[in-house]
Amino acid sequence: MATGPVTTARAYHTATLLPDGRVLASGGNDGVDVTATAELYDPTTGIWTPTSSMSDARYRHSATLLPNGLVLIVGGLAASNDALISAEVFDPATGTFSETGELHLARATHSATLLPDGRVLIAGGGGTSGNGSLASAELYDPATGIWTQTMSMSVARFRHEATLLPNGLVLVSGGNGPSGPTKSAELYNPGTGVWTPTGGMMFARFRHTQTVLANGLVLAAGGLDANLNVINTSEIYDPAAGTWMQTASLNVARAQHTATLLPNGLVAVVGGFHGPTPTTELYDSSNATWSLSGNLLEARSAHQTVLLPSGDILVVAGFNGAPPSQDPVPSRFDHDSLTDVEIGTLEGNPTPTPTPTATPTPTPTPTPSPTPTPTPTPTPTPTPTPDPTPTPTPTPTPTPTATPTP
């Protein structure tokens, strides 16, 4: 259903759930200009209220909620289409932004991952003229406001995905690099500051989503392939084995969509570029299947989704037309940015996971109890970023292979 619209149309923005339940939307492109504006959503009233603006107008940036309750805004592209070196923090208590330490390298379309020790890992990206992709990475310390360079990735990439695994490592996958879309994936160890290559993906992809499931496996879905076709393939990464396995394909090929882990363990995929599309789907890891759910009121891409404390998904703005040039340094947008915001609960029930039967022993076998569903940890929303122009041609659905064992 519809809820209050944002006060400024925006796409390629960020949306961050704050500790008090409100949502901060910052930056983006309003269809004509890059904006520095920001606004707050109150789920109790359904109303967006403007707050103070950022120091720099930016889009394709990142936003990370820090343990101290502040929101770290990093990089992005300016109105000149040059990548920004600046970073700033938003204080929900005062509703103001303040500048913090500068990056070592200007970057946009990067990944931002909150580490267990409270630092933030920024990896890859690009956007500066003549420097389409970066392999470098750096760490932000909220206690000092200082950025420190760390080891570079083995593959330069932008519009990749990065997620924190249950074992404390950071998995980076796919993206676009000097040689085009890549299958490569690597792991970052915050304790040693070292990147290590891990098993490559089955399909080169970028502008996809990557979600840690309740069972600890990682789901990568959709995106664009090496031929710049919108794809529907999905695959699963097993951190214990360090390998990827194909799983069921999406019903609708899509890129520049969002993926949200729900409290019931399902993954909700919303919208994306395939026209764009209003469709949504649910992935059930217990039986490795995708099922279509209700459609959005407005087809959209380059939007953001936030899982609210109520369990509802807030779908924020985006655009509803064909995307612009997706070069590392894009030209002005030629689409209609949206102010529309929707909220709702996607329907779907996960298939119960059978409880393993205990092996008989000389002593009586206790009756096994149902396995509780682990409470998922919210996944940071990937920042939409620039890439080569997608060609929304139908993509054949590959035959699913064996489902990975959780």
Q: Which pair of structure tokens corresponds to residue 324?
A: 């612009």
Taking only the tens place, the pLDDT of each residue in 267-301 is 999 999 987 899 999 999 999 999 999 999 999 99
Residue 378's pLDDT is what? 38
**Helix, strand, or coil here: 87?**
strand
Q: Identify the burial level of 75 via C-beta atoms within 10 angstroms of its C-beta, where 0-12 means exposed, 13-18 middle and 19 or more buried.
A: buried
Residue 128 pLDDT greater than 90, yes or no: no
361 belongs to a structural domain: no
405 belongs to a structural domain: no
232 belongs to a structural domain: yes
Q: What CATH number should be reported for the domain holding residue 264?
A: 2.120.10.80
Q: Which pair of structure tokens corresponds to residue 11?
A: 């796409």
Q: How confident is the model over 221-228, as a mean pLDDT?
A: 94
Q: Which residue has the tokens 């789901």?
A: 219
pLDDT-wise least confident of 128-132, 158-162, 241-245? 128-132
Q: Is pLDDT larger for residue 310 or for residue 368? A: 310
- Nearest-angstrom CA–CA distance, 306 and 301: 15
Q: Is the pTM of this model over 0.85?
A: no
Taking only the tens place, the pLDDT of each residue in 1-53 is 888 999 999 999 999 999 999 999 999 998 789 999 999 999 999 999 999 99
Rg (CA), the chain: 20
Q: Is pLDDT larger for residue 397 or for residue 202? A: 202
Confidence of residue 338 (pLDDT cuts 50, 70, 90): low
Number of domains in the chain: 1
Residue 207 pLDDT greater than 70, yes or no: yes
363 belongs to a structural domain: no
228 belongs to a structural domain: yes
8 belongs to a structural domain: yes
Give the residue numbers spanning the domain of 159: 2-344
Average pLDDT score over the chain: 85
308 belongs to a structural domain: yes
Query: How far is CA 355 from each of CA 214, 216, 240, 325, 352, rounded to the nearest angstrom?
Result: 16, 18, 22, 50, 9
- Nearest-angstrom CA–CA distance, 321 and 77: 21
170 belongs to a structural domain: yes
Residue 398's pLDDT is what? 37
Query: Could you give phi then psi for residue 237, rounded to 5 degrees?
Result: -105, 130
236 strand-pairing partners: 219, 245
Confidence of residue 199 (pLDDT cuts 50, 70, 90): very high
Taking only the tens place, the pLDDT of each residue in 356-379 is 333 333 333 333 333 333 333 333
Residue 345 pLDDT greater than 90, yes or no: no
- Is residue 155 within 8 A of residue 174, CB to CB? The reply is no
